[in-house]
Structures are given as structure tokens and as C-alpha cells.
Structure 1
Amino acid sequence: MSPRSRTTVTLPDDLLAHARAVAPGGNLSAYIEHALRAQQLRDAALALQAWRVRAAREAEVEEFADIFGEDVA
């Protein structure tokens, strides 16, 4: 288990009420941790996709340079 830190977060009343109502066993911290981890994965997926697009473009430029024998960048 990783170290834990206490923090304060301000949320709209309706969102907080919903989270409290659906938190498993009333554990709001676990519910919010789950939501943040899910967002963390989505953020990582977006970063990975951007990296793949850049890598593919760099590979295309290298391929054109090999074909045409010059710097096409």
C-alpha cells in the first residue's frame, strides 16, 4: 500500500451528494481514489497515443529521407 496524505477538496454539493450515496460501504476516500485512478489511466492513454503518433511521423520522415536521399524534415 502506498503512503497516504490527507487533503481538502471542494466539490459542488450535488456531486458530493452523489459520491457519498454510491461510495461502497460509505468509503468516500476509496470512491474518489478509484475515480482518480481511472482518470490517471485515461491521461496515460492519451499521452501514449500522442507519443505513438509522433513516433509514426518520425518513422515516415526517415523513410522518405531513405527513399529520396535527402533531409525531408
Structure 2
Amino acid sequence: MSTRTRTTVSLPADLIAHARTASGGNVSAYVERALRAQQLRDVASSVRSWREQAVNDTEELADIFGEDVA
């Protein structure tokens, strides 16, 4: 398990009420899932670029070695 750091955030009351209900009382886990999902969205374009470059590299290697390297 990773180290946890306690933090305080201020959010609208209706959003907190929804988080408490939707999480079954474990707001920390609920917020963690939301932040992890946002983290993935934040890096999606970088991952997409990396994958596109990897395809180009594979094609270049296939041209050099004359075989399917994928």
C-alpha cells in the first residue's frame, strides 16, 4: 500500500453530499478513484503520441531487418 497524505479541500456542499452517498461513506476512496481517472485523462495524449511513435519505430525496424518485428 502506498503512503497516504492527509489533505483538506473545500468543495460545494451538494458535491460532498453526492460523494458521501455514492461512496457508501468512504469519500477518500471515491475521490481517489476520481483523481486516478483524471490522471489517466491528463496523460492520454502523451500515451497516444508514444504509441504512434512506437508504430513508426516498428515499421522502421521491419524495413531495416526485412521481417515482421511486431
TM range (shorter): 0.5 to 0.7
CA drift of 1:52 comes to 6.6
- Could you say what the CA RMSD is over the residues aligned between the two structures, in angstroms? 2.0
Unaligned runs of 5+ in 2: 57-70
| Pair 1:9 & 2:27 matched | no
> Partners in 2 of 1:29 and 1:48 — Cα distance?
27
Unaligned runs of 5+ in 1: 60-73
SS in 2 for 1:21: helix
Matches within 5 A, 1:1-73: 1-24=1-24, 26-49=25-48
Moved over 3 A (4+): 49-53
% identity of equivalent residues: 61
Q: Deviations over 1:30-52 (max 9, x none)?
A: 00000000000111103334667
SS in 2 for 1:9: coil
Q: Tell me the TM-score normalized by structure 2.
A: 0.64
* Bigger Cα Rg: 1
> Partners in 2 of 1:19 and 1:12 — Cα distance?
11
